[in-house]
Amino acid sequence: MIHTVLPHRGFWASVLLSSGLASIALFGGFGIQAVRSQLLSFTPLIIALPAMNAIAGDYVTLIAGHIGDPQLYRQRLKKLLISLVISVPVSIFGVTTMSLFIAYRQGFDISRTVLLTYIFLVAVSLVFILLISVGAIFVINNALRNHKINSDDVLIPLANTLASVLVLISFALIATQVR
């Protein structure tokens, strides 16, 4: 007799949650749609959008996946903060450098003012996305733990969706500030 191995019982709930959250994240596109003309006129933002979305999603996934046991919060939080302080500036530098380089190669005129404004706005955007996401992750994790729900199947999709929506909102706000 062959035994069928079923996925973790929370797997299907996680799949449904992820699908629903992805649908909610689509609403972030309305913010981008509202500032479409400003966004299209600022090529580096269009180039940076997928990278910023990936970076924010990766960071919150790592954070959500490692908050774990409350007794280890202090140790993990300290290591997490040190890692973020080191890696976030590197990510900001990488995204801004590559998106500005690609935009320049496509004929976008990059003045010193545009350069500094863009770097500042991307940096502030990513830092605020991470701060809001980290705060939300801790609040959601505590609520899940209080309701005796395993956060492994719920927290990462929630955090990832939140980060994606925040990236879209921040890019809509940035688009209104440039040019």
Residue-wise pLDDT tens digits, 16-60: 666 666 666 666 566 556 656 665 667 787 888 888 888 998 888
Residue-wise pLDDT tens digits, 160-171: 888 888 888 887
Cα–Cα distance for residue pair 171/128, rounded to 1 Å:
12
Q: In order of start, what are the domains of the chain with their CATH numbers? A: 10-177 (1.10.357.20)
Q: What is the pLDDT of residue 36?
A: 61
Which residues have a Cβ under 8 Å from the Cβ of 75 and sit 6 or more positions away?
none
> What's the CA dihedral at 26, 92, 124, 52 to 10 degrees?
0
* pLDDT beyond 50 at 121: yes
